[in-house]
Amino acid sequence: MKTSAWPPAAPLAARAALSAALAALAGAESPTLTAQALLAHVLGITRSRLLAHPELPVAPDQRAAYEQLVARAALGEPLAYLTGQREFHGLDFLVEPGVLVPRPETELLVDLALARRPGRILDVGTGSGCIAVALAANLPQAVITAVDLSPAALAVARRNARRHGVLGRLTFLESDLLSALPASSLPAPGRPASSFQLIAANLPYVDRGALCDLPVARHEPWLALDGGPGGLALVGRLLRQAGPWLAPGGALLLEIGAGQGPAAQSLAYAAFPAARCQVHPDLAGHDRVLEVALPGPVRPA
């Protein structure tokens, strides 16, 4: 799609391409960052190299590709889908439209998880795999099972695990919450418990009623956002299923939405009356992570 912001076809310096893109992106979110990131992507260089060399030439085919990406960004398509990547917890993740774009808020969940130094981890609704891969990259002893309902998401997560060299410690499983986990992982008489020290999840938690009006739902998968009526349907289901899979002293860390803290906490106490349940705010001060810590000795990994 052409926009009137572009000068007639001619050899173009990066500087001129950027200012045409800025005009085309007026009204979009973060126009400067978007214009720069997309041009760096098309030229195959970093954003800082682009900024240091505004005289770099943009070839006609690069210019055409750039114009198309800028037009899509102007229509609200997330930058991460246009470039195919997003940084999360210091690592670069492959992202495509079948998975939720990793958010900085979710880094809080990863930090809380790392502080517990768990050895056996389950990541439920792994999506791009950003939580599971960030944990594996920072916990060299950890073994992680990552489940998702979507085979497309699992394929992306597997690629991210390979990209960061942790594929060997991750097991991927197509599963609706915990339903497909092998019962052989459960503790039983005569069999040592191999249950999880941490269950982490960024499940869909947006109130279904509010979803239609949210711009985010126009581009990112409903499957990753729709938390049912009220938003906590899946969080509640996971809390009710999780008990047998958690080791003594283990914990759940679940991402939740702003304002969902009290409701999430009462779901947690209903499922785990003896646990310590805490809601951690994100940097903006919004309820973001529910921590449910089970009593019992914490065994080393």
Structure tokens at 299: 């065994």
The site string for ligand GLN over 247-276 (x = CB under 6 A, - otherwise) reads --------x---------------------
Candidates 46-54, 146-154, 202-210, 232-240 — which segment interacts with ligand GLN by CB under 6 A? 202-210
Nearest approach, Cβ of residue 218 and ligand GLN (Å): 11
Q: Which C-beta is closer to ligand GLN: that of 123 or that of 255?
A: 255
Note whether 225 binds ligand GLN by CB under 6 A: yes
Residue found under tokens 């998968």: 221
Q: Concatenate the DSSP letters of all residues of 85-111 into one string.
A: EEEETTEEEE--TTSPPP-TTHHHHHH
Which residue among 6, 205, 245, 272 contacts ligand GLN (CB under 6 A)?
205
Nearest approach, Cβ of residue 255 and ligand GLN (Å): 6
Note whether 216 binds ligand GLN by CB under 6 A: yes
Q: Which C-beta is closer to ligand GLN: that of 23 or that of 233?
A: 233
How far is the C-alpha of 101 from the C-alpha of 103, rounded, in Å?
A: 6
Q: Residue 243 carries which DSSP code?
A: G
Residue 144 region, left (φ>0) first, then alpha (ψ -120 to 50), else beta?
beta
Note whether 66 binds ligand GLN by CB under 6 A: no
How far is the C-alpha of 241 from the C-alpha of 223, rounded, in Å?
A: 20
Q: Which C-beta is closer to ligand GLN: that of 160 or that of 202?
A: 202
How far is the C-alpha of 11 from the C-alpha of 22, rounded, in Å?
A: 18
Contacts (CB under 6 A) with ligand GLN, residues 141-200: none
How far is the C-alpha of 246 from the C-alpha of 143, rounded, in Å?
A: 15
Note whether 81 binds ligand GLN by CB under 6 A: no
Helical spans, DSSP H, in 14-78: 14-24, 31-43, 47-52, 60-74
Q: Which C-beta is closer to ligand GLN: that of 228 or that of 248?
A: 228
Residues in the site for ligand GLN, rule: CB under 6 A?
100, 103, 202, 204-206, 216, 225, 255
